[in-house]
């Protein structure tokens, strides 16, 4: 009897072990976690096409200064229930980098650096300060910016929506209401017609999922809500706004020649412990909602946002299919998740022991960049790396970051991925949304009292790569 009992226990134990291991093996095979031995990689051996676009990127509210008519301006004076400012240290964008007035100087430093493209956003609240009222001087400003870029040999790439809404639009419910999409499409038409002879590269929406997660899931950005069902609705509507804006541009004069795309942030949700099924299940849930929902909608026209017990929204729009001439890829890192029945703990991301931390709450993970390129390549359209950079106040990791991440771009191109350009985030240190001015992403630092720009030592490697690629 004892031998039978031992055999029974052994069988049960074996079944439990297999039930633990097999799912993990299946998960690992379905979503491989890349890890390269960088000690064996020569990151200096990189090659790029002669017509490659070397750029940098900014967003209007973060750099222009004195944008006082959007929801972020109001948010900067908001405090939470505990009396704590919503922006780190109670900081405000204020004058920011004074890029609205100093853009000629900033274009000169781009030109001297060797850049041949610049991605920037147009500030909707300046262009349409009141509903249906358009400011011709603001429109003329952006025409002048484009003219100055072109004269300097720099190709403009324009982003129509980079997180900010006019106050009047926010008061209407912004993208919480489907009927408000028409306002964004109207704005799109006005600015496209104003810039179409100067701009051929158009980004409709910057990082739809980030806008939704931060504003409607975490509550860290305006409007500061934590409502998963509303998050599902807003993501649907902002993706619909992209689709409608795309087809509106295509219907206008010159629209067929314009290249229009959406900018997708890819932050992979990975398990902290690849041998823990719970970590895998939770990471896959997050990955499916905040990456899969957007990607699947654009591929198939089917919108599916499902978080068990929290939200479920399933719809379809066939016009989403084919609504991109290119895809803009923003990539910084991944997040590692540990399963917990406490959702606040479960949604906390963790660094792996061997990862190099940036000043943000994530690590440098260049292998994930390759994974992201592979993922978005499935659309079969050209890829522009519309953002990639590191927050590094000490400037002691930027050169390593540039070497590794641009090695990834070079390798991806050599492997056949259709990457047309790379835009480092950002041109200069600026207002990093809820984190204020604490995060230093810039190629150039700024002495704020004097607005003096200075090139960072770690950024010089990017300039060297550009020069070497043209030989």
Quote the mean pLDDT of the chain.
Answer: 94
Q: What percent of the chain has pLDDT over 70?
A: 94
Residue-by-residue DSSP string for 107-145: HHHHHHHT--EEEEE--HHHHSSBTTB--HHHHHHHHHH
pLDDT of residue 112: 98
Residue 76 to residue 94: CA distance in whole angstroms: 10
Q: Please state, in angstroms and rounded to a whole number, the distance separating the CA atoms of residues 403 and 450.
A: 31
> Quick one: pLDDT at residue 77?
96
Tokens representing 105 are 């100087």
Question: Structural domain of residue 5, as residue ranges?
Answer: 1-30
What is the predicted pLDDT for the residue at 81?
A: 86
What confidence score (pLDDT) does residue 11 get?
A: 60
Residues 239 and 365 in one domain: yes
> How far apart (Å, rounded) are the C-alpha atoms in residues 146 and 126?
17
The pTM score is: 0.96
- 166 and 44 both lie in a single domain: yes
Q: Which residues of the chain have pLDDT under 50?
A: none
Asked whether residue 106 is assigned to any structural domain, the reply reads yes
CA nearest neighbour of 164 among 295, 58, 55: 58
> In terms of DSSP H, where are the helices of 339-458?
343-346, 366-376, 398-414
- CA–CA separation, 366 and 353 (whole Å): 16
In a domain, 232, yes or no: yes
Residue at 266 is within a domain:
yes
Mark whether 59 and 132 lie in a shared domain: yes
Domain membership of residue 35 (yes or no) is: no
**62 in the same domain as 24:** no
DSSP letter for each residue of 207-242: -HHHHHIIIIIS-SSTT----HHHHHHHHHHHHHHH
358 burial class (0-12, 13-18, 19+ CB within 10 angstroms)? buried
What is the domain-level CATH number for residue 169? 3.20.20.80
Q: According to the model, what pLDDT value does residue 4 have?
A: 63
Contacts of 440 (CB under 8 A, 6+ apart): 359, 391, 392, 393, 395, 429
pLDDT digits over 316-342, tens only?
999 999 999 999 999 999 999 998 877
pLDDT of residue 256: 98
| pLDDT attached to residue 85 | 97
């Amino acid at each position: 009897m004892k031998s039978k009992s031992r055999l029974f226990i052994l069988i049960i134990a074996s079944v439990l072990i297999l039930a633990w291991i097999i799912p993990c093996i299946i998960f690992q095979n379905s979503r491989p976690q890349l890890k390269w031995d960088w000690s064996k990689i020569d990151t200096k051996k990189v090659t790029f096409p002669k017509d490659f676009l070397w750029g940098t990127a900014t967003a209007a509210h973060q750099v222009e200064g004195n944008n006082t008519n959007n929801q972020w301006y109001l948010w900067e004076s908001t405090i939470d229930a505990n009396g704590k400012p919503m922006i780190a240290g109670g900081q405000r964008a204020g004058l920011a980098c004074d890029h609205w007035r100093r853009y000629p100087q900033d274009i000169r430093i781009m030109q001297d650096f060797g850049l041949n493209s610049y991605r920037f956003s147009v500030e909707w609240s300046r262009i349409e300060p009141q509903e249906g009222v358009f400011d011709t001087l603001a429109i003329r400003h952006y025409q002048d910016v484009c003219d100055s870029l072109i004269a300097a040999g720099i190709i403009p790439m324009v982003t129509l929506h980079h997180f900010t809404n006019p106050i009047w639009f926010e008061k209407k419910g912004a993208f919480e209401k489907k009927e408000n999409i028409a306002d964004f499409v109207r704005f799109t038409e006005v600015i496209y017609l104003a810039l179409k002879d100067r701009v051929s590269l158009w980004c409709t929406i910057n990082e739809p999922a980030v806008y939704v997660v931060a504003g409607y899931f975490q509550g860290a950005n305006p409007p500061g809500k934590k409502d998963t069902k509303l998050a599902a609705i807003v993501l649907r509507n902002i993706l619909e706004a992209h689709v409608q804006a795309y087809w509106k541009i295509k219907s206008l004069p010159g629209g067929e020649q314009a290249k229009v795309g959406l900018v997708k942030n890819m932050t992979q949700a990975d398990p902290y412990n690849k041998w823990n099924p719970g970590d895998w299940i939770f990471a896959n849930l997050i990955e499916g909602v905040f990456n899969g929902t957007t990607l699947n909608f654009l591929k198939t026209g089917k919108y599916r946002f499902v978080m068990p017990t929290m939200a479920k929204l399933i719809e379809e729009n066939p016009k989403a299919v084919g609504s991109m001439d290119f895809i803009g890829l923003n990539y910084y890192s991944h997040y590692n998740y540990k399963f917990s029945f406490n959702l606040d703990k479960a949604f906390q991301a963790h660094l792996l022991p061997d990862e190099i931390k940036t000043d943000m709450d994530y690590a440098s993970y260049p292998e994930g960049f390759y994974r992201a390129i592979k993922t978005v390549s499935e659309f079969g359209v050209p890829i522009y790396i519309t953002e990639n950079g590191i927050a590094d106040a000490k400037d002691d990791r930027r050169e390593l970051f540039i070497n590794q991440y641009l090695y990834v771009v070079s390798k991806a191109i050599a492997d056949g991925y259709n990457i047309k350009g790379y835009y480092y985030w950002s041109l200069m240190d600026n207002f990093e949304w809820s984190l204020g001015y604490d995060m230093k992403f810039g190629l150039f630092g700024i002495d704020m009292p004097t607005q003096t720009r200075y090139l960072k030592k770690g950024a010089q490697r990017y300039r060297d790569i550009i020069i070497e690629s043209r030989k």
